[in-house]
Amino acid sequence: MSDAYQSPADSPFRHAAEERDRAPQFVLPMVVRIEKAAPPARTDALETAARAVLVILGDARSSGDGEWAEAVRDWQDARIRKVVRRARGAEWRRAGALPGITVTGKSAEVRVFPPVPLDGWPKDLARLQVSGTDLDDPEAPEPADPGVPVLWLNPGLEMSAGKAMAQAGHGAQLAWWELSERERTAWREAGFPLAVRTAAPERWQELTGSGLPLVRDAGFTEIAPGSCTVVADHPALR
């Protein structure tokens, strides 16, 4: 699932049409492992996807003269799109042979890859399915631990797991861009702790007016353009 976002005027996440829409467009590919016999829990998959985005942003290969740095810069110069596909068995093994990083949660595994052109996907990723990524939580998630960054989902929207994973990734990235270098380093060294939870309806209204990073969907899939999907509540941004 792929989308776009809103952030302050000096960040690469502005939602209004502008010059970067005429630049070559790139996408950040992510693949979630979904084996028939043992699919991951939905919330864990969302949290693992969000953490995977942070892991690749914080990787040395994504900055300076790193091997992925040019692709990451090209991606950030255009719309910051993300697409989540699913794989199992041999598909997952082939995806694992491509350059990228696998991030593991409690039950979920997500592999994130350096950005690629919209029409330039590696064939072993391009053939993977996007739709049908439906997951459930066996039990209701526990309340988030105090002090942990929380990516709050809009309680009024229904999204597939793949769509929600992309949205959670957007929220994590918005928070990353708002943090100072010192704050980013501390988050990275702690292992990027975070939680993804659905906000209570009354809390959602408060969050969207709080000034915290807010994701607005571009409307490419599933929901209406401009829908608010995630608020990134990092303690350092309050």
Instruction: Specify the pLDDT at position 238.
Output: 87
- Report pLDDT for 25: 87
CA distance linking residue 151 with residue 227, whole number of Å: 16
DSSP letter, residue 34 = -
What pTM was estimated for this model as a whole? 0.89
Residues in the chain: 238
Provide the pLDDT for residue 131.
72
Check residue 10 and give its pLDDT.
Answer: 40
Predicted local confidence at residue 3, as pLDDT: 44
Q: Enumerate residue ranges in the chain where pLDDT < 50.
A: 1-15
Look-up: residue for tokens 């769509």?
163
**Residue 130 and residue 85 in contact, taking contact as beta carbons nearer than 8 Å:** yes
Q: For the stretch 189-202, what's the b/e string if a residue is b when 16 or more beta carbons lie within 10 angstroms of its beta carbon?
A: eeebebbbbbbeee
DSSP H helical segments within 13-111, as ranges? 42-58, 69-77, 89-96
Residue 19, pLDDT score = 63
Say if CB 131 and CB 37 are below 8 A apart: no
pLDDT at 13 (0 to 100): 42
Strand partners, 233: 150
pLDDT in tens, 42-58: 999 999 999 999 999 99
Residue 7 confidence (pLDDT): 42
